[in-house]
Structure 1
Amino acid sequence: MQQVCRRLYELLELLNHELPTFSAAELSVPPAPGKWSRKEILGHLIDSAANNHRRFVLALTRPEPLLIIPYDQDDWVRCSGYQFSPPVDLLNLWTTYNRQLIRLIGQVPATAHTYRCEFENGYSVTLGWLIEDYAMHLEHHVQQILDRTPR
C-alpha cells in the first residue's frame, strides 16, 4: 500500500501545482451538455474521497463481507453546488481529505488487505482492491481535469 500512498501524494502535488494555471472559464465550462466541468470533476473526487473513507473504515471495523452501498454521483455533484464553489476551496478540501486517506491507507494492516467487500450485484472484491481502485479512479479524473485538449 506504500506505492498507492506515494501515487496519491504525487497526484495531490500535481493537481495543486497545475490547477491554479487554469482560467476561471477553463475550470467552469463543461466540455459538452450533460458533462461535468473541471470544478465538478474535482467535486466528484471530494465525494469519492468521502464515500471511500467510509468504506475503508467500515471494512476495517465491521464483520466481513462489507456491503458496498453505491451513491448517485450526479446527485452528489449537483446537490453540493461545486460548479459555484471557489476553485481554491475545492482544491484545499480535496487535498486535505486525501492527505487523511493517505494516513489511513498507510496504517491498514497487511492482514486487512484481504478483507472481503461485496457490491449489491454480488461482485466480491477485497479491501486492498478497493484501495487500489480508489487510486486509479482518482488518477483517471486528475488526468481529465488537466487535459488541455480543446473541449
Structure 2
Amino acid sequence: MVLSAPSMPQVCHRLHELLGLLNTRLPLFSPAELAAFPGPGKWSRKQILGHLIDSAANNHQRFMLALTTPEPLVLTPYDQDAWVRCADYQHTLPADLLSLWTTYNRQLIRLIEQIPLTAHAHRCTYGNGYEVTLRWLIEDYAVHLEHHVQQILGRTPQ
C-alpha cells in the first residue's frame, strides 16, 4: 500500500490540533515538571518549547525565502543547542513561551494556507547537496513539531 503525503489542509489541521493540545496540557504541569531535565544533555520541557519557537522562526524564514527568491533556496542550518542556551528559555515564564509559540504557529498556518500550489515544488537545497521542496519543508516542520509536542507531554522519550 502506498501512503500519500498529507495535503496542506491536513497539515494545517494537525498544526491547529497540536496548538490546542499543548495550550490545554502545558498549564497542567508544575513549574518543577516544566524545568526538570530528564537526563544529562537533555532539554527541559521549557527548553523544548523554546526550541519549537526557534524552529518556527527558522522555518518562517525558509518558507518566505522559498516564496520570494529564485530556486534553489540554499538552506542555512542553525546551532539548536546554542540558540536554546542563548535565549535562556529555562528561565522564561512558561506562559510567555506558550503564548509566543502559539502566536508564531498561527501565523505559520495562515502563511501555509495561502501558499499557491505551484510554489510547493520550489526547490530547496541543503549544504550537502540534498534537495527538497517547499512542500517537504512544510510537512517536515509539522512532523518535527508533533515529535517535540509529544516529548513535552511525556509521550515519547526525551
- Kindly report which structure 2 residues correspond to 1:30-41, keeping only aligned pairs within 5 A, or say none: 30-41=37-48
Specify the SS of the correspondent of 1:45: helix
1:68 and 2:87 are equivalent in the alignment: no
After superposition, the C-alpha distances for 1:41-69 in whole angstroms (9 at most, x for unaligned) are: 00000000000000000000000000000
Q: Which runs of 4+ in 1 moved over 2 A?
A: 148-151
Other structure's SS at 1:36 match? coil
Q: Does 1:94 align with 2:82?
A: no
Deviation at 1:33, TM superposition (A): 1.5
Which ranges of structure 1 fall in alignment gaps of 5 or more residues?
Answer: none
Report the counterpart of residue 60 of structure 2 in structure 1.
Answer: 53
For structure 2, the residue ranges without an aligned partner over 5 or more in a row are 1-7
Instruction: In structure 2, give the amino acid aligned to 1:91.
Output: L
> What SS does structure 2 have at the residue aligned with 1:54?
helix
Structure 1 letter corresponding to 2:19: L
2:124 aligned counterpart, secondary structure: strand
How many correspondences in the alignment?
151
How high is the TM-score relative to the length of structure 2? 0.93
Q: CA deviation at 1:14?
A: 0.2
Counterpart in 2 of 1:128? 135
Alignment deviations for residues 50-90 of structure 1 (CA, whole Å, 9 cap, x no partner): 00000000000000000000000000000000000000000
Alignment correspondent of 1:9: 16
Give the 3 Å change call, closer, same or farther, for CA 49–149 of structure 1 in structure 2. closer
How far 1:6 sits from its partner (Å)? 0.4
Provide the residue aligned with 2:84 in structure 1.
77
